[in-house]
Structure 1
Amino acid sequence: MASRQSRHGLDWMNFFISDVQEGFGAFVAFYLADQKWSQGSIGEMLTIGRVASALSLIPGGALTDVVRSKRALIAVGIIMIAGAALILALRPTVLFVVVAEILHGATAGVMTPAIAAISLGIVGRRAMSCRIGRNHRFDAAGNALTAAAMGALGSYLGKSTIFLAAAALTVPALVALSFVRKEEIDYDRARNAGKDREGRPTLQGLAALVKNRQLLWFTCGAVLFQLSNASMLALAVEGIGRSRSVQSSLMASAMIVAPQAVVALLAPWIGYFSELWGRKPLLLVSFAVQIIRAIFFGFVSNTAPLIAVQLLDGISGAIRSVLTTVIIADVTTGTGRFNLASGAVGLLVAVAASVSTIAFGFISQLLGHWAAFGSMAAAAATGGLLVWFLLNETKPAQYID
C-alpha cells in the first residue's frame, strides 16, 4: 500500500504537470496569430509539435518499461516544457518556435507513460482504475484553473505572459514529484509484468502485443473516436482566434475550462463505476455522447451555446482518459509491455488526429460544416459498433496483485 505522502505527491504532481503541459499548449495558435504569423505558418508549427509528440510515444513507452527511475523521466519532461515555454515567451522567431514545439511535443512520450507507470507501480492492478480516475481529477482541475488564469493574463497583460507563467509553474510540479517515494514504485508492477512459478518477473515478446486481438479492437475503436473528435472543436470555433478581440483568449479559455471542469468532477467516478459495471458499458457511452455532440455542433455557432455543447466533451473525455489507461493495463497484464503498448496506441490515435484535421477540414470546405459534423458522427458510430460487437469486457475476474 502506498503511503499517504506518495499518494498526495502523485495527486499534486498531476495537478501541476497539467498546468505546465496543457497550460500554454492550447494558446500557441492565438499567441502566434497575435505576433502576425500567417495561418499557414502557424499550422506548420503546430504540425511540427504533433509530429514530435507522435514520434516520441513508442520510444517513450519502451524507455519507460526499461528505466527504473520513473521520477527522473518525469523531471526531464518538466524541464523540457519549461525550456519550451521560455523560448516561446522570449524568442518567438521561426527557428526558436520550431525548437520549442519539438521540446513540448516530445514530452508526451516521456511524461504520459511515466505517470501511468508510477500509478500502476504504487497501487497495483486492483486499485489502478480508481488511481487513474484520481489522476485525471487533479489533471483536469489544474488544466481548468490554469487555462482560466492564463486566458486572463493573455487578455490583460499580453500573451507572452502565458508562457512565462507556465515556466514558473514547473517549480511546484518538481516539488510535488519529489514527494513520491521512489522505494514505493514497484518496478515490475509498473510495467505490468507477470511472474513465473518461482515468483520471478516475466517479460513477453513484442509478438504477444501484435497477436493480442482485444488490444487490436480497442485500438481500432480509439482511432475511430479520435478521428471523429480531433477536429470537432476546431471547426466549431473557427474564426475566434483571428477575431483580434481582446476577449479571444478568454473565449478560448472557456472552451478548455468547461469540459475540464466536467472531467475533474467525473473522472474518479468513472474509475469506480468501471469496477462496478465493467469497462465496456462506459466505453459505449463515450461513443454515444460523441455522436450527440457532433450533431449539436451542426446547429450551433454562437459562443455561449458552443460552450454548453462543449460540456459533452467533458463526459466523453472523462471516460476516455480513464478507461484508455485501464483497458490497456487489462489486456497487457503479465506481458511487461504495458507502457510500450500505451505508446503504440497513442501513436495510432495521434495519426488519427492528424488525419481528422485534414479530412474534415477538406469536407467542411468542399461540402460545408453540416457534412463535416455528419461525417464525424458517422465515424463515432462506426467505432461504437466495432466496440459493441468485437471488444470483450476487459475487467478481469481476478487481479494478479
Structure 2
Amino acid sequence: MKPLRALEALNFFMADVQAGAGPFIGVFLLGRDWQAGDIGSVMTLAGLAAMAATPLAGALVDATRRKRALIVAATAGTTLASLALLPARGYAAVLGAQVLAAICGSALLPAVAGVTLGMVRAAGFDRQFARNQMANHAGNVAGAALAGWLGWRYGLGAVFALCAGFAALAIACVLLIPARSIDHASARGLETDGASRRPGDALASEAGAPPHHAAAPRDPGGLRTLLHNRPLALLGASLAFFHLGNAAMLPLYGMGVVAAHRGNPSAFTAQTIVVAQLVMVGAAWLAPRLLRAYGYWWVLLVSWLALPIRGLLAATMMNATGVWPVQFLDGVGAGLQSVAVPALVVHLMEGTGRVNVAQGTTAMVQGVGAALSPLLGGMLAQHFGYAGAFVALGAVSLGSLVLWLGFGKTLRRVCDAGQGQPVWR
C-alpha cells in the first residue's frame, strides 16, 4: 500500500476509534441502573479532560519525532480505556476509564495532522487533509451502521468488540507508513530550503505539492508566536461562536421531532447521522478546490452562513422530512470546516514550528463552545420551546459572521498571503 493510501485508511478506521462506544455509553450505563445525572457528569468531566489535554497533545506532536508511535499508543489507550467499561461497576472506575479514553483520543487529531503535514508539506496539506476527512466521514458512516446492527443483533458487547477491531486495523495502517516518509521539520511548520531532495518529495508530488529541498530549518519560535497571533485568535473566537450554536442543534432537533410524534426515534436518529456524514464527504472533497479558487476567508464565510439558515429551517420544518435540508446544511458547514480550519492554521503558523500546538488549541476552543451549547440549548428549549431555541442558537452563531466580516480586512490579507510570508505577525 502506498504511504498516502495507508494514511487515508488510517483515517477511515480511526473514525470508530475516536467515537469509541461514546454514542452507546448512555444506554450501556442505563442498563446498569445508573442515573441520568451521573451519566451526564461522567461525560462532562471526560469532555473537559479532553479539552485540557488537546493543546498539550499538540505540543507533544511538535516536539516528538516518534509520531507514529504516538498514534499507536493513543489508539491502543483509547480502545483499552473503552473496553475497561465492561468490567467497571463503580462511579470512580467508569469516570477513570472515560477520562483516560478522552485524554488518549485528544492526541489523535493533532498527531494525524502533523504526520500529514510532514508527508505532503504545506502546499499539499489542504488536498491531502481533504482526502483524510473524506475517509474519516466514510468511516463514521460505516462504523455507525455496523455498531447499530451488531448492537441490535448481538448486544452492546459487540459494539466494544467492533471498536477493538477497528483499532487493530488503524494500528496496522500506521505501521504501513514508512518512518522516512515523514519530514519532522515540515510536520511542525518549519519549511526548509536547500539543494538536496528530502525523502518525502515523492509523497509531496503525489499529493499535489511541489518538490521540497532540504537544509537546516530555522529554530521553532516560542509560544508567544501562538499567543500574539491575532488572526488565529479571531479564527478561534469565530469557531467558539459557531459551535456554541451548532452542537445542541442536532440533539434538540431529534428531541423536538420525536416529542411531536413526527418520526420513529431510532430511524430518525440514524437518518440524521447518515445524511450529515454523507454530505460531509462531498463537502470535504469540494473544500480544497474552493480554497484554491476563492481562498480561506470566503470558504469559511460560507460555513458560518450555513448555521443561521439551518436554525431557521429547523424551526419551521419540525418533521421527518425536514432532516434533509437541516442536516444537509450541517454537512456543508462541518465538512468545509473540517478541511479549511486545519489548513488555515497551517497557513497562519507556517514557519513558527508551533503548528500542532495551534491545531490543538483551536480544537480546544471549539470544544469549549460545543460543551456549553447543550446547556444553552436546553435552557432555551425549556423557556421558549424547540422552535424558539433553534432561532436563538442560529442567532448566537451570528457572532462568527460579525467577527469574520468586522475584521474582514485583516483576515483577508493574511488568508490571501502567499506561502513563506510571515502571516502570523
Residue 275 of structure 1, aligned match among 292, 310, 320: 292
Provide the residue aligned with 1:72 in structure 2: 69
Q: Shift of residue 35 of structure 1?
A: 3.7
1:39 aligns with 2:59: no
Residue 96 of structure 2, aligned match among 74, 82, 99: 99
1:81 aligns with 2:101: no
- The SS at the match of 1:141 is helix
Residue 178 of structure 1, aligned match among 152, 175, 190: 175
- For these two proteins, the number of residue pairs brought into alignment is 395
Q: CA RMSD, aligned part only? A: 2.4
Aligned AA (2:117): L
1:216 aligns with 2:233: yes
- CA distance in 2: counterparts of 1:90 and 1:149, whole angstroms: 23
Aligned AA (1:343): G
Provide the residue aligned with 2:419 in structure 1: 399
Structure 2 CA distance for partners of 1:379 and 1:70, relative to 1, 3 Å: same
Residue 312 of structure 1, aligned match among 317, 323, 329: 329
Provide the residue aligned with 1:387 in structure 2: 404
- CA distance in 2: counterparts of 1:388 and 1:170, whole angstroms: 42
Provide the residue aligned with 1:5 in structure 2: 2
TM-score scaled by structure 1?
0.91
8 Å Cα contact 2:279-2:335 kept in structure 1: yes
Q: Shift of residue 299 of structure 1?
A: 2.8
8 Å Cα contact 2:347-2:419 kept in structure 1: no
Identity of aligned residues (%): 28
- CA distance in 2: counterparts of 1:378 and 1:184, whole angstroms: 46
- CA distance in 2: counterparts of 1:241 and 1:157, whole angstroms: 26
Q: Shift of residue 302 of structure 1?
A: 3.5
- The SS at the match of 1:126 is helix
8 Å Cα contact 2:304-2:400 kept in structure 1: yes
8 Å Cα contact 2:221-2:354 kept in structure 1: yes
Question: For residues 284-323 of structure 1, what are the structure 2 equivalents within 5 Å?
Answer: 284-306=301-323, 308-323=325-340
Provide the residue aligned with 2:356 in structure 1: 339
Q: Shift of residue 241 of structure 1?
A: 10
Q: Shift of residue 66 of structure 1?
A: 0.3
Provide the residue aligned with 1:115 in structure 2: 112
- CA distance in 2: counterparts of 1:84 and 1:179, whole angstroms: 25
Structure 2 CA distance for partners of 1:154 and 1:281, relative to 1, 3 Å: same
Provide the residue aligned with 1:230 in structure 2: 247
Unaligned runs of 5+ in 1: none
8 Å Cα contact 1:137-1:265 kept in structure 2: yes
Greater displacement, 20-29 / 61-70: 20-29
Unaligned runs of 5+ in 2: 195-214
Provide the residue aligned with 2:270 in structure 1: 253
Aligned AA (1:188): A
Q: Shift of residue 304 of structure 1?
A: 4.8
Q: Shift of residue 141 of structure 1?
A: 0.3
Structure 2 CA distance for partners of 1:312 and 1:32, relative to 1, 3 Å: farther
Q: Shift of residue 6 of structure 1?
A: 1.0
- The SS at the match of 2:2 is helix
Provide the residue aligned with 1:52 in structure 2: 49
Provide the residue aligned with 1:21 in structure 2: 18
Structure 2 CA distance for partners of 1:84 and 1:299, relative to 1, 3 Å: farther
Aligned AA (2:362): V
1:162 aligns with 2:146: no
Q: Shift of residue 5 of structure 1?
A: 1.5
- CA distance in 1: counterparts of 2:89 and 2:124, whole angstroms: 44
**Post-superposition CA distance 1:131-172 (Å, at most 9, x none):** 110010000000111101111222232223212211122111
Q: Which has the higher contact order (CA 8 A, sep 6+)?
A: 1
- CA distance in 1: counterparts of 2:87 and 2:343, whole angstroms: 40
Greater displacement, 203-212 / 385-394: 385-394
- The SS at the match of 2:122 is coil
Provide the residue aligned with 2:366 in structure 1: 349
8 Å Cα contact 2:78-2:105 kept in structure 1: no
Q: Shift of residue 284 of structure 1?
A: 0.9
Q: Shift of residue 396 of structure 1?
A: 4.9
1:370 aligns with 2:382: no
Aligned AA (1:377): G
8 Å Cα contact 2:75-2:105 kept in structure 1: no
Structure 2 CA distance for partners of 1:195 and 1:126, relative to 1, 3 Å: closer
- The SS at the match of 1:273 is helix
8 Å Cα contact 1:293-1:313 kept in structure 2: yes
- CA distance in 2: counterparts of 1:85 and 1:109, whole angstroms: 14
Aligned AA (1:81): T
Q: Shift of residue 178 of structure 1?
A: 0.7
**Post-superposition CA distance 1:316-364 (Å, at most 9, x none):** 1111111110111111111111111111122222111122222221222
Q: Shift of residue 122 of structure 1?
A: 0.3
Q: Shift of residue 206 of structure 1?
A: 1.4
Q: Shift of residue 81 of structure 1?
A: 1.9
Q: Shift of residue 253 of structure 1?
A: 3.2
8 Å Cα contact 2:188-2:355 kept in structure 1: yes
Structure 2 CA distance for partners of 1:193 and 1:345, relative to 1, 3 Å: same
